[in-house]
Amino acid sequence: MRLSDFKVLSFDCYGTLIDWETGIWAALQPLADKAGGKTREAALTRFGHHESAQEKETPSLQYSELLVRVHARLAAEWGVATGPEADRKFGASVPDWPAFPDSAEALAYLKRHFKLVILSNVDRASFAGSNKRLGVAFDAICTAEDIGSYKPDPANFRYLLARLAELGHQPVELLHVAQSLYHDHAPANAAGLNSAWIDRRAAEPGWGATPEAAAHYDFRFTSLAALAAAHRAE
């Protein structure tokens, strides 16, 4: 199997193209300072727990509003005071989360060889802010707001495949590119899709803001730049 066998790349955004862990940790600083003694890794792990639980409980809730609730849940767990203003500031922080340094350049290269699609667990407004950092026009953008559920719900991948058909492509022509084994690779496996793992946490222990999961993947790279380089080498 070669990267050049595919005609369309679908991407998770947060954790794959956008450095969400850096963004989350920065946005959590006021709350973490109140709680005292919270390490980045411990805070990200608890964020991942509460985010995935909230997504299951309220699958139709817009992501910025979902983050409001996650912030309040973390405050309650850590035994510190919060309020509507602080919760909403965290919920609105997604456009401030930085892109990985290699994302824009790698996407610009890949755009010359593939159609590019986003499949993301956010709302349209939040993604629009992030898209400015990525500097590329995607051929299709599929968000949780459009779908009414959050990955790893199979409905999100059914929606992706429907959009793929509208673009004139078959599932065999699609490679799903993502960091999260839990949110992306496991449901991509179930949907019969090939996938490439962008293992952004390869140098770090644990799973950070993403719940642990087991999944199969067809390619593994530690950066998007490495994927682009592998395609260039082909």
Using CA atoms, how far residue 144 sits from 44, 161, 228, 229, in Å, is: 21, 15, 27, 31
Distance (Å, rounded) from C-alpha 54 to C-alpha 58?
Answer: 6
Q: Please check the confidence at residue 88 and state whether its pLDDT lies above 90.
A: yes
Q: What is the pLDDT of residues 22-53, one digit of tens each?
A: 999 999 999 999 998 899 999 999 999 999 99
Burial of 67 (0-12, 13-18, 19+ CB in 10 A): buried
Element (H, E) at 10: strand 8-11
For residue 209, report the phi and psi dihedrals to the nearest 5 degrees: -80, 5
Supply the pLDDT for residue 37: 82
The two most distant CA atoms of the chain are separated, in Å, by 55
Q: Enter the pTM of the model.
A: 0.94
| Domains (range + CATH), the chain | 3-19+98-233 (3.40.50.1000), 21-96 (1.10.150.750)
With a CB cutoff of 8 Å and minimum separation 6, the contacts of 155 are 147, 148, 149
Q: What does each C-alpha distance from 23 to 96, 105, 130 come to in angstroms?
A: 7, 20, 11
**DSSP E strands, 42-200:** 115-120, 140-143, 174-178, 194-198
Q: How large a percentage of the chain has pLDDT more than 70?
A: 100
Query: Greater confidence, 87 or 212?
Result: 87
pLDDT of residue 204: 85
3-state per-residue secondary structure call for 42-77: HHHHHHHHHHHHHHHHCCCCCHHHHHHHHHHHHHHH
Catalytic, 139? Answer no
The reported pLDDT for the residue numbered 205 is 85
Mean pLDDT of the chain: 96
Query: Is 206 a residue whose pLDDT tops 90?
Result: no
Q: What is the pLDDT of residue 26?
A: 97
Percent of the chain with pLDDT over 90: 94
Predicted local confidence at residue 139, as pLDDT? 97
CA separation for the pair 88, 91 (Å, rounded)? 5
Helix, strand, or coil here: 120?
strand
184/62 Cα distance (integer angstroms) = 19
Statement: residue 229 has pLDDT above 90: yes
User: If pLDDT is split at 50, 70 and 90, which confidence band does 213 have?
Assistant: confident
For 194-205, the pLDDT digits (tens) are: 999 999 999 888
pLDDT at 126: 95
Of the residues 5, 12, 87, 139, only one is catalytic, namely 12
